[in-house]
Chain A
Amino acid sequence: MARNITYREALNEALTQEMERDETVIVMGEDNAGGAGAPGDDDAWGGVLGVTKGLYHKFPGRVLDTPISESAFIGAAIGAATAGMRPVAELMFVDFMGVCFDQIYNQAAKFRYMFGGKAVTPVVIRTMYGAGLRAAAQHSQCLYPLFTHIPGLKVVMPSTPYDAKGMMIQAIRDNDPVMFFEHKALYDSSGPVPEESYVVPFGEASVVREGGDVTIVTLGRMVHTSLEAAGQLVADGVQCEVIDLRTTSPLDEDTVLESVEGTGRLVVVDEAHPRCNIATDISALVARKAFGSLRAPIEMVTAPHTPVPFSNALEDMYIPDAQRVVNAVKTVTGWTR
Chain B
Amino acid sequence: MTDDRIVPVTMPKWGLSMQLGKITAWVVAEGDEVQVGDDLADIETEKITGTLEAADAGTVRRIVARVGEDVPVSGTIALIAPAEVSDDALDAAVLQARAVIDAGVPDDAGGAAELQTADVGGRKISYAGAGEDGDVILLVHGYGGDRNSWLFLQEPLAVKYRVYALDLPGHGTSAKDVGDGTLGVLADAVTGVLDALGTGRAHLVGHSMGGAVALAVAARDPGRIASLTLIAPSGFGSEINAGYLRGFADAQTRRELKPVVGQLFADESHLTRQLVDDLLAYKRLDGVDEALHALLGTLLDGDAQRGDSAALAAAVAAVPVTVVWGRADRIIPAAQADAVTGAVRHLIDGAGHMPQMERPAEVQAAIEETIARAG
Contacts and interface: CB of A to CB of B under 8 A. Distances in A.
A84 B287 CA distance: 24
Contacts of A195: 173
Contacts of A1: 115, 126, 173
B284 A201 contact: yes
A201 B252 contact: yes
A194 B285 contact: yes
Contact of B255 (A199, A200, A254): A254
Given A204-B254, A207-B273, A254-B255, A199 B284 contact: yes
Contact of A210 (B126, B253, B273, B286): B273
Given A1-B115, A1-B126, A210-B273, A198 B252 contact: no
Given A1-B115, A1-B126, A234-B68, A204 B285 contact: no
B281 interface: yes
Given A195-B173, A198-B284, A207-B273, 11 more contacts: A1-B115, A166-B284, A194-B173, A194-B285, A196-B176, A196-B285, A197-B286, A200-B284, A201-B253, A206-B277, A210-B273
Contacts of A206: 277
A198 B281 contact: yes
Interface of B: 68, 115, 126, 173, 176, 252-255, 273, 277, 281, 284-287
A-B residue pairs, 4 tightest by C-beta: A197-B286, A198-B285, A198-B284, A1-B173
Nearest to A206: B277
Interface in A193-229: 194-201, 204, 206-207, 210
Interface of A: 1, 162, 166, 194-201, 204, 206-207, 210, 234, 254
Contacts of B273: 207, 210
B253 A204 contact: yes
Contact of A197 (B126, B253, B285): B285
B118 to A, nearest CB: 14
Contacts of A254: 255
Contacts of B126: 1
Contact of B286 (A196, A200, A207): A196
Contacts of B287: 196
Nearest to A162: B281
Contacts of B252: 201
A196 B291 CA distance: 15
A86 B115 CA distance: 37
A195 B273 CA distance: 23
B339 to A, nearest CB: 38
Nearest to B283: A198
Nearest to A235: B68
A210 B285 CA distance: 25
Contacts of A162: 281
7 contacts: A1-B173, A196-B176, A196-B285, A197-B285, A201-B252, A201-B284, A206-B277
Nearest to A21: B286
B198 to A, nearest CB: 23
